[in-house]
Chains A and B, each alone.
Chain A
Amino acid sequence: MQIKPILAALKRHKAGTVLIALQIALTLAIVCNALFIIQQRVSKLVRPTGVAESEVLTVQNSWVGADDATAASRTKTDLLALRGMPGVRDASFSNSYPLRGGGMSLGVKTDPDVKKPITGATIYYSDDHSIDALGAKLIAGRNFLPQEIRWVGSNEFDAPAQVIISKALAHKVYPDGSALGKPIYLALGETGGKPSTVVGIVERLQVPWSGNWASNFVEYSVLVPYQSTGAFGSYIIRAKPGQLDALTKAVPALLFKTNRMRVIPAERGVRTFAQVRDEAYKSDRGMAILMGVVCAVLLAITAAGIVGLTSFWVGQRRKQIGVRRALGATKHDILSYFLTENLLIGAGGVIVGAALAIGMNLWLVSHFEMERLSLLYVVVGVVALLLLGQGAVLAPAMKASRVPPVEATRSV
């Protein structure tokens, strides 16, 4: 295929050529970034929490008119009632749980004299039922013992003697894999503090936050053998298989029967873990859907634009095509002429577009919490747009190839 005559022809259609190339370039820039955003959000969405998600119900509870002592005794009564319910496998009480949104975090160190903690980690107030209630998997060491559990006030925090930590955190603070039985120090910044012995390791337990800022410690969790006497807290209830739906109504009813002096918020008060996950990732999922729609519509519009302009060109050049056919060009020659022409314009467009895509990504990185675009996306985008261009040009090019040689003899 000779490229020279194509280039010569394009020179006579500068405006159209530039417009198609520009459209391809801009589409590539947006589609690359949109696909990248989708991939990032989706990879967040599918992260496992370490919770037996299909079996867990959470209930947010606040006591009314209770001081520390009464709040503790009421919570204990609740827990006994919940654990005795038919359909309940286990229940526990905590300050927070994975994907809840709010929680507590502290720095973790292995050397009390070093100022800077190794990492931040979330603190879950737990008892000997927590691991089972969450459905977390203890992979080393032991659970808390009932006599290790302490009831503490909301404004008290002292490093506990025992902690259970997640595997990810264990590997972070003791990279050689020897965390079990070793001490860790819970503090932020300052030196000193009491050691807490790692008595157990759970396979996985996510932090309460789903935001990007938490992604560098997303599986760093510390379970402490504390129960809070404060007025706020959440019950984590694990249903026996198939019982979750029934419990969603039965649990609040039972709690109000046990004690009326409580507030369970009407909104977000009683949530299955599926709802917790849904709400935590709402904006991530929405962003992925939005970007998907934008990509689809953009590609469709760009394809339509190419079809429109190429059809116009074909219409304009009927006579020339007829002359070529009369001089011996085959249908295939005409077809490949338009395909090559489109490929040349597309190539120009994707070169500019790749640069634009990277530029747009750099801008997003500097303004939002976003990562660098992987070049794979640019490559995929380039291939996709070139194929889209070829596909879009096919119909008008076929039409052109059917122009009969006799066209050359007609005065247009």
Chain B
Amino acid sequence: MFGYYFQLGMRSLRRNPVLTALMVIAIGFGVAASMITYSVFRAVSGDPIPEKSAVLFTPQVDSWGPQQNIHGEPPYALNYVDALALLRAHQAKRQTLLYAVWLSAQPTGEQSLPRGADGYAVTADFFPMFDVPFLYGSGWSAAEDDGRAADVVLSEEFNQRQFGGADSVGREVVLGGRAYRVVGVTRHWNPRPRFFAASGSTSGFKDPTDFYIPFSRAVDLKLDTAGNNSCRGNPSFNGYDGWLQSNCVWVTPWVELDNAADVARYRRFLEGYAADQQRAGRFAWAPNVRLRDVMQWLDYRQMVPPESKIALVVALGFFVICMVNTIGLLLAKFMRRAGEIGVRRALGAPRKQIYAQYLVEAASVGAAGGLLGLMLTALGISGVGILFRPQIARLAHLDLSLVGLCLVLAVLATLVAAFYPAWRAAQVQPAWQLKSH
């Protein structure tokens, strides 16, 4: 029966090609708009570290006070003094401090000019905490943090540039005019968005990091942050040490806490720390601390570009309109055949059969719309570059799940849209139709 209904459907669709084309185009555009914007949204709003996002937290301590902080929220990072105090207190299973650094890399081989390299100054726990995969070697130990060792972990990409992809563990690399010993090379690792250094909406989608060096070493070498640096109060300070002691925030802390009890304990510790600072006279305000996990942090820092959300909302609204349009056109199409339905009903077809016939017809319209939508989606995804910066635009891609979603959405939405018109068709009174003919 299904095959026969399908044939009938095809015949009826061919009978008014304009109306059919209108429906297919409406469904196609609606589905494509939704899929294109969804592909971007999916790429930018995913969980960058699904296995551990619930146990990684970033502590925030208000060192600016209610007069100078932003809407009562503590600053998004720590100043050096507070960061070091949290590290030394060692109240979490694992913890790290980090900040972005930029260093020049000495040319090797046929390269003739120095190149820039982006990296992070981190502590030893960074690698196990964030499950950084290693190709060669490993991270460094806590003892090497304390010893301010000139160690460096390279990324696979940077190792390829500097050493042609060879196992470079034990070799030397010159960064910012100083030699570092390679202790490990990571496999390709670039969580998007880069949650651990969330400082702005596009900075979370950069190319992979080039290197990681010990935090203590970077501070010894007086390396400035290449990330955000925000200060409050009178910004007259002189030199690096003055900066370290100032209220400028530039260090991002992360802690790993396995269960709710640990989280509660750490939160109490943070409040205690802030209260101690108040008693000591450093803070002239009550403790104001936050402990956000990865997803809460991404949300708070608005790492998902607002364009992607606005575009998705508008596209969904667009899709709804296309569907309303489809309901109207299907209704017109089905009711035009009231006479035909009357004959079938009079010849003994139950309502269920009428229902089935028209839903099959609608589903084939939906499938055609889905195919058109798929083509438009492929076209649109190659054009998302007009709305998003390249590092975000290239995240959007057409994969199998998107193709499936596109077709399923088109057929399902058309079926839903067809329910009312099909119901109306099934309600046709055979006697009335036959009489008037």
Contact = CB atoms under 8 A, between A and B. Distances in A.
Interface of A: 15-16, 19-20, 22-23, 26-27, 29-30, 33-34, 37, 62, 64-65, 106, 115-116, 153-159, 187-190, 192-193, 230, 232, 256, 260-263, 265, 282-283, 285-287, 289-291, 294, 297-298, 301-302, 304-305, 308-309, 311-312, 315-316, 360, 364, 367-369, 411-412
A188 B64 CA distance: 11
B102 interface: yes
Given A30-B317, A291-B314, A308 B235 contact: no
B329 A23 contact: no
A263 B111 CA distance: 13
Contacts of B236: 157-159, 193
A188 B235 contact: yes
Interface residues of B, number: 61
Nearest to B235: A157
A360 to B, nearest CB: 8
A8 B68 CA distance: 66
**From A115, A190, A360, residue with most partner B Cβ within 10 Å:** A190
Contacts of B102: 62, 232
B28 to A, nearest CB: 11
Contacts of B116: 62, 263, 265
Contacts of B114: 64, 260-263
B384 to A, nearest CB: 8
Interface string B350-363: 00000000000000
A298 B318 contact: yes
B141 interface: no
Interface stretch (B81-89, B162-170, B320-328): B320-328
B275 interface: no
Contacts of B331: 15-16, 19, 309, 312
B349 interface: no
Nearest to A186: B235
A360 B316 CA distance: 13
Given A157-B235, A190-B233, A312-B333, 12 more contacts: A62-B104, A187-B234, A189-B67, A193-B234, A261-B114, A286-B307, A287-B387, A294-B315, A297-B318, A305-B26, A412-B436, A412-B437
A368 B306 contact: yes
Contacts of B307: 283, 286-287
B280 interface: no
Interface stretch (B49-57, B238-246, B259-267): B238-246
B235 A106 contact: yes
Contacts of A282: 388-389
Contacts of A301: 25-26, 29, 321-322, 325
A19 B328 CA distance: 6
Contacts of B386: 285-286, 289-290
A15 B331 CA distance: 9
Interface string B223-238: 0100000011111111
B420 interface: yes
A230 B224 contact: yes
B298 to A, nearest CB: 16
The 4 closest A-B pairs by CB, nearest first: A286-B387, A312-B332, A65-B177, A64-B104
16 contacts: A15-B420, A37-B310, A155-B242, A157-B237, A158-B236, A188-B232, A188-B235, A256-B113, A294-B33, A297-B33, A301-B325, A309-B329, A309-B331, A312-B332, A312-B335, A360-B317
Contacts of A411: 436
B235 A187 contact: yes
Nearest to A156: B238
A178 to B, nearest CB: 26
Nearest to B307: A283
B328 A369 contact: no
B424 A15 contact: yes
B68 A189 contact: yes
Contacts of A260: 113-114
A20 to B, nearest CB: 7
A315 B328 contact: no
A33 B324 CA distance: 19
Contact of B239 (A62, A155, A285, A316): A155
B321 A65 contact: no
A26 B311 CA distance: 16
B224 A155 contact: yes
A309 B234 contact: no
A22 B324 contact: yes
Contacts of B113: 256, 260, 263
Contacts of A304: 22, 25-26, 325
B108 to A, nearest CB: 14
Contacts of A369: 306
Given A188-B235, A312-B335, A368 B310 contact: yes
Contacts of A15: 331, 420, 424
B90 interface: no
B104 A263 contact: yes
B206 to A, nearest CB: 11
Contacts of B389: 282-283
A308 B329 contact: yes
Interface in B294-324: 305-307, 309-311, 313-315, 317-318, 320-322, 324
Nearest to B26: A301
B115 interface: yes
B215 to A, nearest CB: 18
A61 to B, nearest CB: 11
**From B29, B234, B322, residue with most partner A Cβ within 10 Å:** B234
A156 B305 CA distance: 34
Interface in B384-405: 386-389
A187 B233 contact: yes
Contacts of B233: 187-190
Interface in B256-302: none
B228 to A, nearest CB: 9
**From B235, B309, B424, residue with most partner A Cβ within 10 Å:** B235
B176 interface: yes
A19 B238 CA distance: 70
A37 B314 CA distance: 11
Given A156-B239, A283-B388, A23 B310 contact: no
B378 interface: no
B320 to A, nearest CB: 6
Nearest to A185: B234
Nearest to A19: B328
Contacts of B317: 26, 29-30, 360
Contacts of A62: 102, 104, 116
B19 interface: yes
B316 to A, nearest CB: 10
**From A19, A154, A290, A369, residue with most partner B Cβ within 10 Å:** A290
Contacts of A22: 324
A286 B388 contact: yes
